[in-house]
Amino acid sequence: MNQTPNSQVLAAKRRVSDTVADVILSRIMSGEYHEGEFLPSEKEMMTEFDVGRVSVREAIASLRWRGFLKVKQGERPRTSMPDPQVVIQQISHVAHSILGSPKGVEQFNQARLIFEQGVVQFVVTHASDSEIDIISGVHAENAALLGQPNTFVEGDVAFHRALVNVTKNPILISSHTALVEWLILDRVQKSKKNPMESHKEHEAIIAAIQARDIRGALQAVSDHLQKTVSS
């Protein structure tokens, strides 16, 4: 396909800025640029890379979006390492597009089941008694919300968050926020499921965790999610 002169210029600019971004990123990852260090000035980078100001700014914008730079007005960009939450937020744009497709919700519910079962298996095998007490405490607090369907949704989210918090893994916790919480808030609010049913299903999950029963916990999670989706 032939490109017009203008499109050729734009493509060239993208390639130049990508090259600049790649070099800066390699310096961040290698430790040449330490975390929190200011980048050279725009003028210095323009001279080093033999590019225009636009290409330098495009490279900075790209790295900022990916979480490798922080930019404050009046300061040069400062290097940083991506927070898992930033990465998940970027993925969520694609996620919402998938959710809008014919099989999107079905695929996300499958992903949620795999995710939740993996989390509960970890909880059964690794959670301390005090961590299980925290999960039970959240569940007990939710009992007061049973007559408030809209508020109970928040309690439901808190229960599942208490499970994933046991992992202490920021990637999993951020994934829960972006994936599981979105599905709970979207699907449960549209669901006719009685909050008491969910509360009892949570009890079954806790009972299996307390018994250190992996198979029972996996089944309890599966039953809970399947009933939520079908209601």
Q: How many domains, the chain? A: 2
CA angle 188, 175, 124 (to 5 degrees): 85
pLDDT band at 231 (very low <50, low <70, confident <90, very high): low
Whether 92 and 155 map to the same domain: the answer is yes
For 19-29, write each residue's pLDDT tens digit. 999 999 999 99
Mean pLDDT of 179-188: 58
Residue 3 reports pLDDT greater than 50: no
Domain that holds residue 75: 5-79
Give the percent of the chain with pLDDT over 90.
Answer: 53
pTM for the whole structure? 0.64
Whether 96 and 184 map to the same domain: the answer is yes
Q: Which residue has the higher pLDDT, 31 or 229?
A: 31
**Which positions ≥6 away from 186 have C-beta within 8 Å?**
none
Residue 53 reports pLDDT greater than 90: yes
Whether 57 and 109 map to the same domain: the answer is no
